[in-house]
Every structure is written in structure tokens, then in C-alpha cells.
Amino acid sequence: VALRDGSWHFPPAVEVRLPQSIHDIVLRRVGRLSKASQDALRLAAVLGQQFSFTDLMAVAEQAEDQLLESLDEALERDLIRELDTGGTLSFSHTEIQQVIYEALSPLRRRALHRRAGLALEEWHASNMDAIAGQLAYHFIQAGDREKAFAYSLQAAQRAQLLHAHQDALSWYTQALGYLTDTEAYAAKRVDLYEGLGAMLQMQARFTEAIATYTAMRSASESIGDTAAQARAWRGLSGANNSLGDHHSALECAQRAEHMARVADAKIEIAASIQGQGWAMYKMGNPEAALAFGQQALDLSRTLNARNEMALSLNLLGAVSDLLGHYDQANLYWWEALALYREMGNRTRVGVILSNLGDTARMRGDYHTSVSLLQEALSIAREMENREGEMTYMNNLGGAWVGLGEFRAAETELRQVIRMPEAARWGTLSETYCFLAEACMRQGKLNEALEAARQALELGQQRDRPEFIGAAWRVLGMVVSHFHDVLEHDEEAGNASEYFARSAEVFSDIPMDGERARTLREWAEHERHRGDAARSQEMWRESLQLFNQLGMELEVERMQSRAE
């Protein structure tokens, strides 16, 4: 056990045996110490590779002066050393701590761990959160399942609060191993499943998150906690949305609202309304999503619930972005960003930076997009947010395509596809769309065609109209770009037909910015085919849409290409 970066790090469950020669040398050196010094080192070995004098004092049955003399003896023999962190000591070598610890009989180890746990509980009674991990370790080794569970859960919740998501997931998983199916654990079971579900969602382990939130719902029902049932249904809604099952997500969010109203849990009502808005957004119904988002925001403002306000603003920004109202989207997102920064929520700051970056990409401001997305990606990795990491890498790949950095885009996008969590990720269709264009621009026909077809298949499976429209467009671009090679390939299909389908999808949603992009690519295709009149008509319509949407950079690009 060692203290690093303000956190306790525990050894693996599998013990590594040292060579007998090292074992004997260490025991001979320890055996030359006085009995009091040997006793102090045994207790220190139980505390870990590093230990504080304060904690050893709490556990040891020696007066302070005697303990100092015992430690001085060990310091003189270079068995332990003082660290620069003030009051912290360490065994000189990990082997010394390991040999002393292994020399204790199993019965004595358990007794000393229990003694350490109880003493530290009393000594740190006013600040138990800070040492919850230590206490969990000692009571696990002592065989005290009840305290092992309680402190593992407490350590998990503290790590989650500090946004140490991987540590939180480890502690929640450990607590799960000490959970018993008794009435006394019922309420704690709900807390455990809720935290574990959130961490699994963060790590993009969506199927496991669904199973965990389902268990939370059952546990909540067993104790009649309707507010917790609402939170469980909301967790299920979010996980289903991430998997691309938006109809299930909507149903779960509706159930969450029902249970929240039964419980009169107003903040949960706002959150569940916002959840319904996200499902509608993913299903391509921006009008309904906008209504839900505004309703959730109004209620959140009334309650002064800052987190729910920020979540609602994020939804409204996403819907505005979908509709091509980019200035309005940015206003919503900058307000959400300010709230998250006030709350110190780095994970959500990353989400909003990514959204702002993707809007910059949609507007054609690729340099700004790359800068914002790289900042978001850095935060996601810092906060161990696996879902965010996939999303931001995907968006960054799209921005690299816009900048003409096709090799960098391909590298980024293939990394996303290779991530184990990506297989069931609801946004993977968009990744393949970006990849198809990156490969096409590098002259990679087979890879581009395969990626475009994969994008279309995934978009249709997930029932995501915006991805379906983008897939039809990139398929048209690939077939048009490699026309000379694919001219007699019946399987390749007709580029004009693909562009027509894309334009139709984006008219139905509606997504005018994306329709403008489709019309621009279609116009280029018709120009190469020799239909100048049709090409000019589509080009003018595309330019008009970009102008209406205030997408100045795209307008400039079209004007320069026309010249």
C-alpha cells in the first residue's frame, strides 16, 4: 500500500513470493532490532509501504517517545526512511515491507488489520471520507465484510465526487463483491448500483450500465423509493440512447417522469423531461426535442437547479445546432459552459467544448474546431471519460477532414473504430462517414466504399436520419469521385440517386446546413457529368442556404471554387 498523488494505491490480490535469500536477509536485519522496534515495524508493514507517523501512533500500543525511539532504531539500520512530505515514512525497499508482512501468520495479519482499521476509524472520525480507501483495505484484510462494503462504497463515492472515474469504478466493483442480499443493505444497494451505473456509462460500457440500472430499479422498488426508481429509469434512458436504442430511451425517460411525479421530486421531473428531449433529438424530431428542452430549462430555473439548467441548455444547443441555428446553439452552450465551470465539473466542461468545436466544424471553421476538440479530448483523458474520448476523437476526425488533413483524420477515426467500446456505440455511423471521405481524398477506393456502406448500414440500424443522410451523401461522393473505375460496376450504384436520397432526408428532418453540403457535392457531380444547367441550379441553392445560415466560411469556399 502506498500513498501517491494524494490517493492510496493497494497491492494486487496475487502475492509475488520473493527469493528465499532475500527473505532470510531481511528477517536477519529485522531480528537484530529491539522487540519494541520489531513490533512497530510489523504494524507499519500492515499499514503499507508508506505510512504516516500519525497513523502508526494511532495503531501502536507504545507511548509517543517510545515509538519515536523504535523508529529511530529502524532508521539507523536503513530499514525505513523519512520522506519529504512531512510526517510520512517509507520502508527503504518494497521487499522489506513485503517480507515483514508475509512473516506474520494469517491470523495475526487479520487481527492487526482489524486493529488498524478500528484505530484509524477513531483517530480520523472527523474526516472519514479522506481515508475511506485505507479503511476499506484494512477491513477487507480483516475479513469484516460489513465494514469492507461500507468503506469501499464510501471510497467509490468520494472518487466519483473528485472525478477520479476509474478509481470510482474499481471501488464500486469491489463493494459489489461484499454486497449481501439482506434488508439492512437495501438502501446502500441502491446507492451502489446508481454510482456503478454512472461509472459504467462513463466508460462506454453501456450494456453493463443497463444491467446495473435495472438492478437499481429493482432494489428501489423493494424499498418503495420512488425517487430512486425515477433516477434508475433516467439512467436506463441515457444508456439506451448511447446504444442507439432511442425508442427504449424515450420510454424509460417517460417512466422516469412518472415516478418522479409520484415522488414529487421536482429536480428529477426536470431531468426526466430533458431525457425525453434527448431521445426525440436522437430520433430526428427537433421540434419535440426543443419543446422538452425549454420545459426542462424553465423548471430548472424555477428550482435554481444549476446542474439541470446546464443539461437543459446543452440539449437546446444540440437541437439548435441540428436545425442550423448555430449562433443560438453557441449562446446556449456558452451559458452551459459557464455553469459547469462554476460547479467545477470538468467532465461536462469537456462535453460543451466538444459541442462548440463540432458547431465550428459544421460552420466550416475547422481551425477553431480542432482547437476546441483537442482541449475537450485532453479533458476526457484526464477525467477518464471513455465515452467522451470516443465522441471527441470522432468529431476531431471530422474536423481534420475539413482541414484537408486526411491522413491525420484516418488515423484518428480508425483509433475510434478499434476501441472495444465502439462496437455498440450509437454514433459509429458518423465515424465511418468521416472515414469514407478521408479515404476517398487519399485515393483509397475500396476502403472509402466499404466505410460509406458501413456508415449507411449502421445509420439505418440505429434509425438516425442525420447519419443516414450523411451516409447517402458520402456514398454519392465516393461513387462520383471514382466514376472512371466504377462506371461499369452495377453494385456501386448511381451517385445522383445517392445525392437525391441524402437531400430528401435532410429536407425531412430538416437540417439545412447538411442539405446545403449535399447540394454542393451533387452540383460538382453534375458538372463533371456535363449537366451544367442542373449543376448551376444546385450550386445556387446550396450557396443561398449557406448564406441564410450565416455560414460565411462555407460561402467563401464556394465563391473561391466558383472563380
- Residues 154-200 pLDDT 10s: 999 999 998 889 999 999 999 999 988 777 788 999 999 999 999 99
Residue 13: band (very low, low, confident or very high) from pLDDT cuts 50, 70, 90: very low
Amino acid at 172: Y
pLDDT of residue 20: 64
Cell 483524420 sits on residue? 409
- Residues 352-397 pLDDT 10s: 999 999 999 999 999 999 999 999 999 999 998 999 999 999 999 9
Determine what percent of the chain is predicted with pLDDT higher than 90: 85
- Residues 239-276 pLDDT 10s: 999 999 999 999 999 999 999 999 999 999 999 999 99
Q: How far apart are CA 429 and CA 203, in angstroms?
A: 20
pTM over 0.75: yes
Contact predicate 253/271, CB 8 Å: no
Cell 451517385 sits on residue? 495
Determine what percent of the chain is predicted with pLDDT higher than 70: 96
pLDDT higher than 90, residue 562 = no
Residue 17: band (very low, low, confident or very high) from pLDDT cuts 50, 70, 90: low
Number of neighbours of residue 489 by Cβ within 10 angstroms: 11
Q: How far apart are CA 379 and CA 160, in angstroms?
A: 16
- Residues 68-115 pLDDT 10s: 999 999 999 999 999 976 789 999 998 999 999 999 999 999 999 999
**What angle is formed at CA 448 by the lines to CA 444 and CA 450, rounded to 5 degrees?**
125
The crossing angle, in degrees rounded to 10, of helices 366-382 and 346-362 is 160
Query: What are the Cα distances from residue 241, in Å, to 203, 236, 404, 499?
Result: 15, 9, 32, 28
- At 52 the three-state DSSP class reads strand
pLDDT higher than 80, residue 304 = yes
Q: Where are the domains of the chain?
A: 1-104, 345-426, 432-563
Contact predicate 399/361, CB 8 Å: yes
pLDDT of residue 151: 96
Residue 16: band (very low, low, confident or very high) from pLDDT cuts 50, 70, 90: very low
pLDDT higher than 80, residue 213 = yes
Q: Which grid coordinates belong to 346? A: 470538468
Q: Do domains 345-426 and 432-563 have the same CATH topology?
A: yes
- Residues 486-520 pLDDT 10s: 877 777 789 999 999 999 999 998 899 999 999 99
Number of neighbours of residue 66 by Cβ within 10 angstroms: 14
Q: What is the CATH number of domain 1-104?
A: 1.10.10.10
User: Of 218, 263, 223, 224, whose CA–CA distance to 236 is shortest?
Assistant: 218
Residue 19: band (very low, low, confident or very high) from pLDDT cuts 50, 70, 90: low
pLDDT higher than 60, residue 333 = yes
SS3 string of 441-458?
Answer: HCCCHHHHHHHHHHHHHH
Residue 7: band (very low, low, confident or very high) from pLDDT cuts 50, 70, 90: very low
The set of residues, in sequence order, having a beta carbon less than 8 Å from that of 451 and lying 6+ positions away, is 432, 433, 435, 436, 439
Q: How far apart are CA 459 and CA 70, in angstroms?
A: 70
Residue 469: band (very low, low, confident or very high) from pLDDT cuts 50, 70, 90: very high
Q: What is the CATH number of domain 432-563?
A: 1.25.40.10
What class, spelled out in words, does domain 345-426 have in CATH? Answer: mainly alpha
Residue 563: band (very low, low, confident or very high) from pLDDT cuts 50, 70, 90: low
Average pLDDT over residues 298-327: 96
- Residues 312-323 pLDDT 10s: 999 999 999 988
Q: Estimate to the nearest angstrom the gap between the alpha carbon of 400 and the chain centroid.
A: 23
pLDDT of residue 3: 41
pLDDT higher than 60, residue 6 = no
DSSP 328-344: HHHHHHHHHHHHHHHHT
Average pLDDT over residues 8-14: 46
pLDDT higher than 70, residue 5 = no
- Residues 400-425 pLDDT 10s: 999 999 999 999 999 999 998 888 89
